[in-house]
Structure 1
Amino acid sequence: MGRRRTNNLDLPPHMQIKHGAYYFVGRDKKWIRLSEDKALALAKWAELEGEIPFPPNEEKPIKGSLGELIMRYMIEIAPHKAKSTYQGNKLEAENLKKVFSKVQARAVLPTHIAKYLDTRGITSQVRANREIALLSHIYTYGMRWGVVNSNPCIGVAKHKEKGRDRYIMDNEFEGVKNIASELIAIVMDMAYITALRKGDILSLKLEQVTDEGIWIKQNKTGAKQLYEWSIGLHDVVDRAKALKRPIRGLYLFCTRQGKPYSDSGFKAMWNRVQVKWAEQGGSRFTFHDIRAKALTDAKNLGMDAQSLAGHSSAAMTEHYIKQREFKRVIPLK
């Protein structure tokens, strides 16, 4: 029997942390590097040990329960998703476990899913839909792993959602830029010209800016794109490079320490600008609304909005555009 662990009590057997990285230490005392990310390290640990790890401060899930299936999914599958998606999944999984953790995964019926949607929908219909969407994906992996034979979420009607239809007018876009910092204004222009998501812009490295253009691999979809140089793109990149930066800064947009802006840090700056804009009588909009404006304007100009978005299907692009399209009408007098 091995020695009882005296520190890092939240780690499973045979896992150690050293110099910021997690390692698997087998009986042969050989150290196998797993990852610096704890969630990914646990997933690799599970592959090596052939079992599902669980935190010592949590109750071990019941064999065959939905709680066990959710835990396995969150360790082996969820960490490989985009960072924002993974963070959202963790919150959704916790809400699902409050209801289903001790229920046998095979015993869940479509009527149970419908009841969850109705009950959870009292407080938030959108969150109820997202949580059941995650549960449905968990069940698809449960079938693949041989834990369950069917997916009780299939065929259960979700709550109807109203698509966001906020379109940013040109004068609004310029108005916010005028009261924003130079950094925010440049990032806004980059978002509009490229239709890139905020995360892809903030993680953009200088090495991705080449003679051919800007190379992008979207964090969310994995789509690879080359944004060829245009007058507008040249201008916004030159302005970004002119911002104060450490000599060794590797990112196009970076902090004084040369690191990329975090999602929360940028969100705080963006919210301050939107509060100021609202105080001046403007109507607030989200940063993601800029992407929708870019795609809508691209379509109106006869451009290939789908390629600009990096979507795998035209339907995905239409989802952004349809709710924001409008017609200009000449009044009678």
Structure 2
Amino acid sequence: MGKRRKKNLSLPQHMHKKGNNYYYVARVDGKNKWTALGNDLVTARLEWAKLENVAFNAGDLVTFDVAAQRFEFEVIPHLGSRTQLEYTRQLKKLRAVFGNVPLDAITPYFINKYVRERTKKIAANREKALFSTVFNHARVWGYTSAPNPCAGVKGNKETGRDRYIEDDEFCRVMEQACQPLRVTMELAYYTGQRPSDVLKILRSDIKDGALWIRQNKTRTPIRIELEGPLLDIIIRITTEMPPLRPGTMRTKHLIQNEHGQAVTYGSLKYRFAKAREKSGVENIQFRDIRAKSATDTDDRSTISHAQDLLGHKSRKMTEHYIKTRIGKRVSPAPKIMKNRSNTRTTT
């Protein structure tokens, strides 16, 4: 008699999961023979049914969990690191509610109920968007032909973040920041890039008189000229790296911690929160530095410069990004003239 399963209890007899793949395990000549069934649960069950010579209806097992599992294997690994983390976290929430429900049984009523009853309203919007993405993939994979249940379901109302960091506030946080955080803040401001894109910059990305960056989120390539304050901070970073302890090697990343290793996103958030608390500046996040960079750039030059620096595809996106922080800049009304005729028509 074989050993009792301790995990993957929902799998049928002789079917096992190893890593991301499924296998049919049968005893042949006193030894276990492993036959690969693939990494898609529905396909694997169909192959298992052939080997077991039993009838199986694939549609009976196409639950949201099946689609989510394939999405994790095939789609998420090709996304940016931050998106991978967010999608994995969001899928965990969705699978806890919809995991065992057949895709065809999920209707707009249930999606709307989920969005309205979720305690964290903004998170509910993001999770609804991910559900919609997974469901669309499931349609392409042939798991369901039902319409996307997210269609027509309104998300919770959101108000865009409009916090602008004043120069004085920026300097106050800088004064309380440790060396790795201080240079990261400066580099984020002068390049206008997202935190994850700043942290991943390598020393080898400095070439041909420019800083070469490919954004994680949009894959947009940018070359930022090394001049002025940006050149100064790059020189300071590369010439003032902290000494290493014996037996350790320095990372290739431009931003390094006290031990010569890359600064992680989690470490950056912790260091920033600590410096912000000491400075007394309230209600700011590290990501607000990117908005400050765009806003200050637009104030000094043109909207197109800010658009190029941030890597936005449309001018409208950059305008919205900037104007929500400090409002649209307009000219005052004309000077009052005593003898100016009133051309307005009264009805």
Q: Deviations over 1:15-44 (max 9, x none)?
A: 57xxxxx999999xxxxxxxxxxxxxxxxx
In percent, how many aligned pairs have the same letter?
Answer: 31
Deviation at 1:222, TM superposition (A): 1.0
**1:225 is paired with a residue of what secondary structure?**
strand
* RMSD (Å), alpha carbons: 3.3
Counterpart in the other structure of 1:295 = 294
CA distance in 2, matches of 1:245, 1:4: 55
CA distance in 1, matches of 2:216, 2:4: 38
CA distance in 2, matches of 1:253, 1:205: 8
Does structure 1 residue 217 correspond to structure 2 residue 219?
no
CA distance in 2, matches of 1:239, 1:24: 53
Counterpart in the other structure of 2:197 = 200
Counterpart in the other structure of 2:277 = 275
Deviation at 1:51, TM superposition (A): 4.2
TM-score, length basis structure 2: 0.74
Counterpart in the other structure of 2:167 = 170
**1:188 is paired with a residue of what secondary structure?**
helix
Does structure 1 residue 262 correspond to structure 2 residue 264?
yes
8 Å contact from structure 2 (residues 250, 261) kept in 1: no
Deviation at 1:135, TM superposition (A): 0.2
CA distance in 2, matches of 1:160, 1:306: 27
Does structure 1 residue 235 correspond to structure 2 residue 237?
no
8 Å contact from structure 1 (residues 250, 258) kept in 2: no
Counterpart in the other structure of 2:323 = 322
Counterpart in the other structure of 2:39 = 46
Aligned residues: 292
Q: Deviations over 1:237-265 (max 9, x none)?
A: 01111221547431111235433111112
Deviation at 1:193, TM superposition (A): 0.7
Counterpart in the other structure of 1:189 = 186
CA distance in 1, matches of 2:123, 2:61: 28
8 Å contact from structure 1 (residues 62, 102) kept in 2: no
8 Å contact from structure 1 (residues 255, 261) kept in 2: yes
**Structure 1: runs of 5+ lacking an equivalent:** 17-21, 28-44, 53-60
8 Å contact from structure 2 (residues 190, 229) kept in 1: yes
Q: Deviations over 1:261-313 (max 9, x none)?
A: 111122221111011012xxx32411000001111112222332111111222
Counterpart in the other structure of 1:131 = 127
Counterpart in the other structure of 1:309 = 310
**1:239 is paired with a residue of what secondary structure?**
helix
8 Å contact from structure 2 (residues 194, 290) kept in 1: yes
TM-score, length basis structure 1: 0.77
Counterpart in the other structure of 1:58 = none
Paired letter, 1:64: V
Distance 1:116 1:192, change over 3 A: same
Paired letter, 1:287: F
Q: Which residue of 129, 139, 143 corresponds with 1:143? A: 139
